[in-house]
Copies of this chain bind each other. A is one copy, B any other.
Amino acid sequence: MAGRLAIVAGSGGLPLRLHEAHPDAYCVTLAGTPHELPEGVVHTHRPERLGELFEDLRDHDVTDVVMAGAMARPKLEPSALDAVTAKVAPALMAAMQQGDDGLLRHVIALFEDRGFTVVGAHELVVGLTVPAGMLCGIAPDSAATLDVEFGLDILSALSPLDLGQATVVAGGLCLGIETLQGTDALLEQAAGTPTHKRPEAPGVLVKLPKRGQDLRVDMPAIGPATIEGARRAGLGGIVIAADRVLVLEREATLAAAREAGLFVQALDV
């Protein structure tokens, strides 16, 4: 890294993890996005004033930027726009209509066009992703393996549409496909399946990056909340892509999975 790192903090525990691993990094966030960093540490910018954000980063000798955690899609107040934001806002708002990938590619370009290098959280903290293998529990049996394969087929069919980062499959039937609302909402939907419609097989959550998803800013993740959601949905286990899905709070996550009797498997897919 040539100069200083900046952490652009979104929601969840990842920004804190990065801050701990890189205590000298300069931390910023956008107003309206909840974050878990200590208040004294983080500098909040308004999404309408990106010019000030870029200037602030330059003033602090930032050369590299990591975006971590989910950012809220900002509602921009037109009267508050600074010159930089006014210039990029129309394209940014058009990108917001294109799903996560389109928007994030656009946001990466905003930083890169100004000379910043955008790096992924998994490049900055060792052990955020996992290699192929069983992380806990017993490998899925042949019925569960069929469910995993069906899940992979579903995600593969939707991937060209920038959709379907996760799905829940049980006994050959799909109990949910992740959309805008995210994985926790997907698991809640699966948990709410009426008993008379519910297959007897416990089912699996399958979670992967979409094809072409830029892992620097939008790597899929599982964490303790995923385990809790899977447990409430009565699932048998969770399958993620090896090396391409973050396992947040790994010890707590795997301890919770063991406690819940869930297997967690990373697959080379």
Contacts and interface: CB of A to CB of B under 8 A. Distances in A.
A201 B239 CA distance: 34
A161 B157 contact: yes
A269 B157 CA distance: 20
Given A153-B161, A158-B158, A189-B189, A179 B180 contact: no
Interface residues of A, number: 33
A179 B172 contact: no
Q: How many copies does the complex hold?
A: 2
A72 B161 contact: no
B32 A196 contact: yes
A174 interface: yes
Interface in A95-142: 96-99
B32 A173 contact: no
B185 A174 contact: no
A163 B179 CA distance: 15
A193 interface: yes
**Chain A at the B interface: mostly helix, strand, loop or mixed?**
mixed
B185 A189 contact: yes
Contact of A99 (B73, B173, B176, B192): B173
A196 B154 contact: no
A73 B197 contact: yes
B193 A181 contact: yes
Interface string A203-232: 000000000000000000000000000000
A189 B179 CA distance: 10
Interface in A134-183: 150, 153-154, 157-158, 160-161, 163, 171-177, 179-181
A175 B179 contact: yes
Nearest to A153: B161
16 contacts: A72-B197, A96-B199, A97-B172, A99-B172, A99-B173, A153-B161, A154-B163, A157-B160, A163-B174, A163-B177, A173-B180, A176-B179, A180-B193, A180-B197, A185-B189, A185-B192
